């Protein structure tokens, strides 16, 4: 590769939360919540109307999503909560990512010949890492909320007891996981009806989950990580071949991490730190794109340059990124404008770079379902949270008597360098399995801020999360409103496999022809993807807007 120094204005800094200066801004004229399910948005509205702040509402929405959108997230999973406290400008990322069990080991998904045993890191209790969501609920309430944890959890407990109605999306996803789900009697009893996908409108009540939520309401995180719930989790996982121990549960801790900050033109981007790859990959892509005037280019050239930025950021992701508590990640190098300038200098303006011509890596990968919500309260506090149990309905396994659907986040590790995971991502030693380590994630809850606008956004979508956030941020940069950010047609490149995938109708025929002649291998996806939830606070116009992705069934609400 040929590297050339360019003068760049883009910068990326990892800012310690304590160094973020307080800013004097007017208060938003309204609060807003956007989430992937109307009942979860309503749970958050209830808590705001009871006097709770954005962080209390985040507890309510997190817990409600665990009940009404079980395919995406839950008490048996993890996530990242990006927080902004308006009173002092403090910003932090709660890392509630799952961690590998203490008896996990590097080769646990390989057979004696060193080959990956299919599905072992996807279905059943051996696929599950130790959940972080229950600890995050307590942490949010203790450190940032104003209401008792029990008050913020009350709407979710009621939803679990009273039930929610199956919709088409639920039906599609549960059908996708039907075979695995049938192997867990406790999961099948809750999420299926007579061992089949339930009809639309069928009411799913979750009494065990209501009791587990109540234990957390009564005892905080200890209600999950010790006592009767923990005993059932351990007994249930071990009886089905899992390796969890009580030490795994009692040792789980939330970490607070300084978010990754970068700039694109006049926009400050605040996004997720490792063990997410999101903030660093966004920084790389934005710093590369800073070299171009994208708005003055024809569509094919614009897509080509964005694709080349994606390709390079995902190569670095696969090569270098992992849990920084376990491996050294060259964050400053990857984030430095000169490094991005070097990457940009390798981009041919009219020709695709085959991924095989970039310095090589071994392989790795990662998960797709997941969920996201965004919250702004009337004081200007903000939460962007992306939560996951990985594959739809996670490991499709429930330890009996808990109502807790376990994640299959172990698949987000690189089980074997060079071998792609369920989402085709490749990885390296930095993301190999180790006891207590957090698997690399793509979840990218993000804030965008220019001199008068603030955006809160994120989306599910596995490896495509980061590129969806990039494309939405470019809509923000073009002064478009939130509906355009969540609605914009999507395309994606992740280095390997070496193809540019795109949503149906994302490109017209002329763009497809031009990109093909540039050397890109195009792959039309059969369906749309993503479920972005976004909020805009325009301080000049004193206006709050919110939008929920039309691809999903979510609800964005303004609370006057």
- Judged by CB under 6 A, the stretch of 28-36, 242-250, 394-402, 436-444 that binds ligand GLY is 436-444
Cα gap 478→464, rounded to integer Å:
21
- Judged by CB under 6 A, the stretch of 114-122, 440-448, 483-491, 503-511 that binds ligand GLY is 440-448
Which element (helix H / strand E) includes 143?
A: helix 133-143
* 370 classed as catalytic: yes
Residue 127 or 288: the one with the smaller Cβ distance to ligand GLY is: 127
The answer to whether 220 contacts ligand GLY (rule: CB under 6 A) is no
Residue 236 or 462: the one with the smaller Cβ distance to ligand GLY is: 462
The answer to whether 390 contacts ligand GLY (rule: CB under 6 A) is yes
The answer to whether 259 contacts ligand GLY (rule: CB under 6 A) is no
Which element (helix H / strand E) includes 475?
A: helix 465-477
**Nearest 5°: phi and psi at 105?**
-145, 165
Residue 56 or 408: the one with the smaller Cβ distance to ligand GLY is: 408
- Contact pick of 262, 335, 353, 366 for ligand GLY (by CB under 6 A): 366
Catalytic residue among 270, 284, 370, 371: 370
Buried b (16+ CB within 10 A) or exposed e, 56-88: bbbbbbbbbbbbbbbbbbbbbbbbbbbbbbbee
- Contact pick of 70, 125, 274, 367 for ligand GLY (by CB under 6 A): 367
The answer to whether 96 contacts ligand GLY (rule: CB under 6 A) is no
* Phi/psi-derived region of residue 97, left when phi > 0, alpha when psi is between -120 and 50, beta in every other case: beta
CB of 79 vs ligand GLY, minimal distance in Å: 8
Which residues does 70 contact at the CB level (< 8 Å), separation at least 6?
191, 393, 405
> Within positions 394 to 433, which residues make up the interface with ligand GLY, using CB under 6 A?
409, 412
Contact 262, 12 (CB under 8 A): yes
- Contact pick of 152, 291, 335, 388 for ligand GLY (by CB under 6 A): 388
Residue 366 or 501: the one with the smaller Cβ distance to ligand GLY is: 366
Which element (helix H / strand E) includes 90?
A: strand 90-95
Buried b (16+ CB within 10 A) or exposed e, 448-475: bbbeebbbbbbbbbbbbbbbbbbbbbbb
- Both tokens of 368, joined, read 């797709």
Question: Is the torsion defined by CA of 236, 238, 241, 244 positive or negative?
Answer: positive
- Judged by CB under 6 A, the stretch of 40-48, 301-309, 366-374, 506-514 that binds ligand GLY is 366-374
Q: How far apart are the first and last CA of the chain?
A: 54
- Contact pick of 443, 518, 544, 559 for ligand GLY (by CB under 6 A): 443
Taking CB under 6 A as the rule, which mask of x and - marks residues 460-499 in contact with ligand GLY? --x-------------------------------------
- Contact pick of 152, 370, 446, 501 for ligand GLY (by CB under 6 A): 370
Cα gap 368→366, rounded to integer Å:
7
Alpha helices in 240-364 (DSSP H): 246-250, 278-289, 299-320, 331-335, 337-345
Cα gap 389→369, rounded to integer Å:
8
The answer to whether 73 contacts ligand GLY (rule: CB under 6 A) is no
Cα gap 133→387, rounded to integer Å:
8
CB of 412 vs ligand GLY, minimal distance in Å: 5
Residue 399 or 439: the one with the smaller Cβ distance to ligand GLY is: 439
Residue 127 or 213: the one with the smaller Cβ distance to ligand GLY is: 127
Residues annotated as part of the active site = 370
Judged by the rule CB under 6 A, the positions of this chain that interact with ligand GLY are 366-367, 370, 388, 390, 409, 412, 441-443, 462
């Amino acid at each position: 590769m040929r590297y050339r120094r360019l003068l760049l204005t883009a910068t990326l800094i990892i800012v310690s939360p304590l160094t973020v200066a307080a800013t004097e801004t007017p208060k938003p004229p309204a609060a807003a919540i956007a989430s992937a399910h109307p009942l979860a948005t309503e749970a958050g509205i209830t808590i705001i109307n009871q006097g709770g702040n954005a962080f209390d509402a985040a507890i309510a929405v997190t817990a409600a999503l665990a009940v009404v959108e079980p395919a995406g997230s839950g008490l048996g999973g993890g996530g990242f909560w990006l927080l902004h406290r308006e009173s002092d400008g403090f910003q932090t990322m709660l890392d509630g990512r799952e961690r590998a069990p203490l008896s996990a080991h590097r080769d646990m998904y390989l057979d004696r010949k060193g080959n990956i045993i299919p599905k072992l890191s996807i279905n059943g209790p051996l696929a599950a890492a130790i959940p972080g969501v229950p600890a995050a609920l307590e942490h949010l309430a203790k450190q940032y909320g104003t209401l008792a944890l029990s008050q913020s959890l009350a709407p979710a407990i009621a939803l679990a007891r009273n039930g929610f109605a199956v919709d088409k999306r639920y039906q599609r996803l549960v059908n996708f996981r039907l075979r695995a789900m049938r192997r867990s009697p406790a999961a099948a009893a809750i999420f299926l009806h007579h061992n089949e996908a339930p009809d639309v409108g069928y009411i799913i009540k979750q009494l065990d989950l209501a009791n587990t939520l109540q234990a957390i309401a009564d005892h905080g995180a200890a209600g999950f990580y010790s006592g009767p719930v923990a005993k059932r989790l351990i007994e249930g996982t071990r009886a089905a071949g899992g390796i969890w121990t009580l030490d795994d549960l009692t040792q789980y801790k939330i970490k607070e991490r300084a978010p990754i900050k970068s700039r694109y033109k006049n926009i400050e981007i605040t996004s997720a730190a490792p063990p997410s790859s999101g903030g660093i990959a966004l920084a790389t892509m934005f710093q590369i794109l800073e070299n171009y005037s994208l708005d003055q280019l024809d569509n094919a050239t614009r897509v080509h340059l964005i694709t080349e930025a994606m390709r390079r950021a995902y190569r670095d992701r696969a090569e270098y990124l992992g849990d920084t508590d376990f491996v050294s990640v060259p964050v400053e190098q990857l984030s430095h404008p000169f490094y991005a300038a070097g990457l940009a200098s390798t981009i041919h303006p009219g020709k695709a770079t085959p991924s095989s011509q970039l310095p090589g890596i071994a392989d790795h990968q990662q998960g797709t379902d997941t969920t996201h919500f965004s919250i702004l309260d009337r004081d200007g506090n903000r939460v962007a949270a992306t939560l996951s149990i990985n594959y739809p309905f996670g490991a499709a396994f429930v330890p009996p008597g808990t109502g807790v659907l376990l994640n299959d986040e172990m698949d987000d590790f690189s089980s074997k360098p060079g071998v792609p995971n369920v989402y085709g991502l490749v990885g390296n030693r930095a993301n190999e399995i180790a006891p207590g380590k957090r698997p690399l994630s793509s979840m990218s809850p993000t804030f965008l801020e220019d001199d008068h606008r603030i955006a809160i956004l994120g989306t599910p979508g596995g490896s495509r999360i980061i590129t969806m956030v990039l494309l939405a941020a470019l809509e923000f940069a073009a002064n478009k409103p939130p509906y355009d950010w969540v609605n914009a047609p999507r395309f994606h490149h992740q280095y390997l496999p070496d193809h540019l995938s795109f949503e149906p109708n994302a490109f017209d025929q002329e763009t497809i022809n031009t990109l093909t002649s540039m050397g890109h291998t195009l792959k039309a996806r059969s369906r749309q993807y993503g479920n972005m939830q976004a909020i805009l606070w325009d301080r000049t116009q004193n206006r709050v807007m919110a939008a929920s992705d039309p691809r999903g069934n979510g609800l964005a609400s303004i609370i006057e």
